A and B are shown apart, each in its own frame.
Chain A
Amino acid sequence: MAEDSVITDEMRAAIGVESEPSEYEIEKEAIRRWAEAIGDTNPLYRDEEYAKSKGYRSIIAPPGFIANYAYPTKVGEGGRRGFRSPFAMVLNGGNEYDFLKPIQAGDKITSTTKLAELREREGRLGKMLFMINETTYKNQDGEIVAKSRGTIISY
């Protein structure tokens, strides 16, 4: 019911507002540390000579790397959404990625994000708020290299 909604006009107004761009340099060591952390031994993420032998300029980023490493953080003050969830608990509900071009060490990535959708529903733990964010990643040549969509659940 509308009167029970936790979605305020202020929150609704944040939908579709594109963030300021955030810039990231894709560093070799960050890729290696990431691959190391998940236990992925693929030499394309670790061995520059090997990656070059496969036609890349340097080592490449594993799938999903970009969304964790270059997540934009520069939206407004007091949090990237411009508003705070009314709930204390926050969980990651899911992630989707589109990969359009390989991301290579040395790339300069610019990402922007926007709140695409707000939903709420009654769950096992009471009312839950679903915030769906869409992020676009471009490289130094202005090419879109990836897109991601993430769902944050708070309750």
Chain B
Amino acid sequence: MADQVYWEDVDVGTEVTPLQKQPTTQQLVRWAGGSGDFYQIHYDKDFALGNQLPGVIVHGALKSAWLGQLLGDWVGEKGKIKTYGCSYRGMDVPGDTLTCKGTVTKKYEEGGEHLVDCDIWLENSKGEKTTPGTATLVLPSKG
């Protein structure tokens, strides 16, 4: 795992360490099993094509889980994810390279906690932000 990041080390504009994913159809099936989402647009190509989709598509909640992994990795064991969320604006397909990214937009103290707000997103290999969102994170302070 990466070194622990501290609140004092970050500023507005600091980049969250990116996380890259290359989903396969097998991974979508594993996610279906792990999450209990068995909507056929995520594993049945004929069903997906019949519903005007380009083929099977990546589950929104899986993309959200990856953004959670991005944040969990970055805040480390001494930090905490307070809130995060994202919108599924564009479809992503298996076989593409997807990258989770983020930047710090605000740094502040509140209720005794050292916080940062971030813009987060997942982008496809064309650089299109298919899944934008925001997060509020607690980072440890060097005191």
Closest 5 pairs between A and B when the two form their complex, measured CB to CB = A96-B85, A63-B68, A37-B34, A92-B60, A94-B87
Shortest Cβ distance from residue B45 to the other chain A in the assembled complex, whole angstroms: 17
- Whether A96 contacts B60 by the Cβ 8 Å rule is no
Main secondary structure of the interface of A (DSSP, over half): mixed
Q: Which of B8-34 contact A (CB under 8 A)?
A: 21, 27, 30-31, 33-34
Number of residues of chain B lying within 8 A (CB) of chain A: 36
- Whether B31 contacts A94 by the Cβ 8 Å rule is no
A34 CB contacts on chain B under 8 angstroms: 34-35, 65
Q: Which of B69-84 contact A (CB under 8 A)?
A: 69, 71-73, 77, 80-84
Question: Which of A's residues lie within 8 Å of B, judged by CB?
Answer: 30, 33-34, 36-40, 42, 44, 54, 62-65, 67-69, 71, 89-99, 149, 151
18 A-B pairs with C-beta separation under 8 A:
A33-B34, A34-B35, A39-B69, A40-B65, A40-B72, A42-B72, A62-B72, A64-B61, A68-B35, A71-B36, A91-B88, A92-B61, A92-B88, A93-B60, A94-B85, A94-B86, A96-B83, A96-B85
Contact of B66 among A33, A38, A71, A98 (CB under 8 A): A38
A99 CB contacts on chain B under 8 angstroms: 80-83
**Closest partner residue, chain B, to A55 (CB atom):** B77
B21 CB contacts on chain A under 8 angstroms: 39
Contact of A93 among B30, B33, B88 (CB under 8 A): B88
- Whether B51 contacts A89 by the Cβ 8 Å rule is yes
A68-B35, A92-B60, A151-B87 given; 6 more Cβ-contact pairs under 8 Å: A36-B34, A39-B21, A39-B27, A62-B68, A92-B61, A99-B83
- Whether B33 contacts A33 by the Cβ 8 Å rule is yes
- Whether A38 contacts B87 by the Cβ 8 Å rule is no
CA–CA, A32 to B128, complex, Å? 31
CA–CA, A94 to B77, complex, Å? 27
B36 CB contacts on chain A under 8 angstroms: 68-69, 71
Most buried by A among B1, B71, B72, B80: B72
- Determine whether B59 belongs to the interface, using a CB cutoff of 8 Å to chain A: yes
CA–CA, A68 to B68, complex, Å? 13
